[in-house]
Amino acid sequence: MRENWRLVRRVIEDGEIVLEVLDARDPLATRNEEVEKSVDRLGKRLLVVLNKADLVERGILEAWRAYFVNLGRDVVYISAKHRLGTRKLITAIRSLAPRIPTTVVVVGYPNVGKSTIINYLKGRYVAPTSPKPGWTKGEQLVRAKSWLLVLDTPGIVKTAYTGDLALDVIRGLVDPGTVDDPVPYAYALLKRVLAYNPDALREAYGIDCDVEHALEEIGRAKRRLLKGGRINIDETARMVLKDWITGKLKYAARPPENHDASEARN
């Protein structure tokens, strides 16, 4: 992890603007304050990008925008997948650019949509530049526009498991297809989902039940069965984790009611 943070700091040094991509459904769960502190210490510009905005009500998005503005951060909310708000992203980058051309670095946890944003910025036609000494495999600097360079650094922000099973899912640390035991992760995720959206199970699966019986009822509704008609809990749990990633299982966290600008700089 120490080596990874050295890489993160070096990449931030190479850019003028850092886009911190957060999942708009749960921004604080996908926020990385260590990255923000590094950006501040190095005197770079930070733009918070709330991605997957198509999965969140506008009023909640506006509340999060106000939250980050109150912390002294520049922020936009977009859906890179559906090209919603992406012009605002370009406008924000231009307004923050300390010089032209400017170099943008995109960071964030897995599954927040970094690659989609990078591909949008790069556009259909890009002109790769020569790699710099010390770059790791896969890094490339591309000229996306006459005034914009994008430093594509896949997977530079890594993290250890937190012990909070739902948080590990939301941060993209749990692969539904390969995790040995998906059941505790699915239960933890469902508990978090239902805390924010009590109607989530009815909206996604057409059922109403408490979290303790959720996997069994979801498996029955979706016919995830073993021989003899028993519920395949393992397969159902993997499906639930995938449904969170794809946006079928919906919830949206609200910003804390009490916060002040000092949080962003401490």
pLDDT tens digits, residue range 150-200?
Answer: 987 766 566 677 889 999 999 988 999 999 999 999 999 999 999 999 999
In the chain, which residues fall in CATH 3.40.50.300? 2-159
Most confident of 11-15, 45-49, 160-164, 244-248: 45-49
Residue 134 has pLDDT above 50, yes or no: no
Per residue in 17-39, pLDDT (tens digit) is 999 999 999 999 999 998 999 99
pLDDT at 152: 76
CATH number for domain 165-246, candidates 3.40.30.10, 1.10.10.10, 1.10.1580.10, 1.10.3720.10: 1.10.1580.10
pLDDT at 8: 79
SS (H, E, C) 191-245: HHHHHHCCCHHHHHHCCCCCHHHHHHHHHHHCCCECHHHCECHHHHHHHHHHHHH
Rounded CA gap, 69 and 87, in Å?
A: 19
pTM confidence score: 0.88
Per residue in 45-72, pLDDT (tens digit) is 999 999 999 999 999 999 999 999 999 9
Q: Is 249 exposed, middle or buried, given 0-12, 13-18 or 19+ CB atoms closer than 10 A?
A: buried
Which class is domain 2-159?
Answer: alpha beta
In the chain, which residues fall in CATH 1.10.1580.10? 165-246
